[in-house]
Amino acid sequence: MKSKFVRVLLAIAGMYTFSALAQTGSAATPSGTTAAPLGAATAPATTPAPTTGTKVGTINIQDAIFGSNEGRRDMEALQKKFEPKQAELKNQNDELEALKKQLSTQGDKLNAEAADSLKKQIDSKQKTFDRNVQDAQEEIGNQQQEIASRILSKMAPLVVKYSQDNGYTLIVDTSKPWPQSPVLWWNADAVDITKPVIDAYNVQSGVAAPTGGPATGAKPVTPKPPATTTPKPAAPKPSEPQKQ
């Protein structure tokens, strides 16, 4: 069974990942630039919308990136890479829990000097553990950012090409729910292009589907952090806007 440590780190790392995606996407697809032909990688085009109207589409770029075969493969590799760190943090946590249990069960039997020494030991190990968790969060966040930026640089031209071929005049990212994004509501069944973009990118990349993990870019679940960690501000898990 996979420890909750890596899932905690992956979930928290998600907060670092997408703050720069909009800038990266803009840099990858300058206004007025026509994307290079993608051949078989481009999803089938439909009849363009009338030029007199505005056809708006949506895409969850986070799901598109990490729902692609390449994104899933690289995230699984990242999790595998951090398994030794996961084990190390678990050992530190177990040791800290044992000391706290000792203080709780034997504290009243210890003399003042022994009790004070045990408390200082717990405090020192707690600070070390918290610092190691923070360092791991930052490291995994940076690597997740690298994965996202690399995939987006190749996916962004495909999004532009697909949108042009299908008559869209505007594509809005719905990775974050309102009020974090300006999108209050959308009809996903009618206007969302995330799935066809994932399918087209999988063809373009040539990366086979990983054997494990979900088939789409599901966001990591955020379990409660270990009881020994110093409470840190946690990003709330917002509800997705209602879709019809």
Q: Residue 229, Cβ neighbours under 10 Å: how many?
A: 17
Provide the pLDDT confidence category of residue 162 given band limits of 50, 70 and 90.
very high
Q: Residue 111's pLDDT is what?
A: 87
Mean pLDDT rounded to a whole number for the chain? 75
Q: Residue 4's pLDDT is what?
A: 42
Q: Model-level pTM?
A: 0.64
Averaged over 144-171, what is the pLDDT? 95
Round to whole Å and give the CA distance between 198 and 218. 13
Q: Residue 37's pLDDT is what?
A: 39
For residue 154, pLDDT beyond 60: yes
Averaged over 64-77, what is the pLDDT? 96
Q: Residue 185's pLDDT is what?
A: 82
Provide the pLDDT confidence category of residue 132 given band limits of 50, 70 and 90.
very high
* 3 state DSSP class of 26: helix
Which of 112-116, 124-128, 221-225 has the weakest average pLDDT? 221-225
195 vs 212 pLDDT, higher one: 195
Provide the pLDDT confidence category of residue 227 given band limits of 50, 70 and 90.
very low
Q: Residue 187's pLDDT is what?
A: 80
Which of 132-136, 179-183, 233-237 has the weakest average pLDDT? 233-237
The string over 51-85, giving b where at least 16 C-beta atoms fall within 10 Å of a residue's C-beta and e elsewhere, is eeeebebbbbbbbbbbbbbbbbbbbeebbeebeeb
51 vs 2 pLDDT, higher one: 51
Q: Residue 43's pLDDT is what?
A: 46
* 3 state DSSP class of 29: coil
Q: Residue 50's pLDDT is what?
A: 47
For residue 137, pLDDT beyond 50: yes
Averaged over 206-227, what is the pLDDT? 56
Averaged over 210-236, what is the pLDDT? 44
- pLDDT tens digits, one per residue of 8-60: 444 444 444 444 343 444 444 444 444 443 434 444 444 444 445 789 999 99
Instruction: State which H helix or E strand residue 187 sits in.
Output: none
Round to whole Å and give the CA distance between 123 and 153. 45
- pLDDT tens digits, one per residue of 92-116: 999 999 999 998 888 788 888 988 9
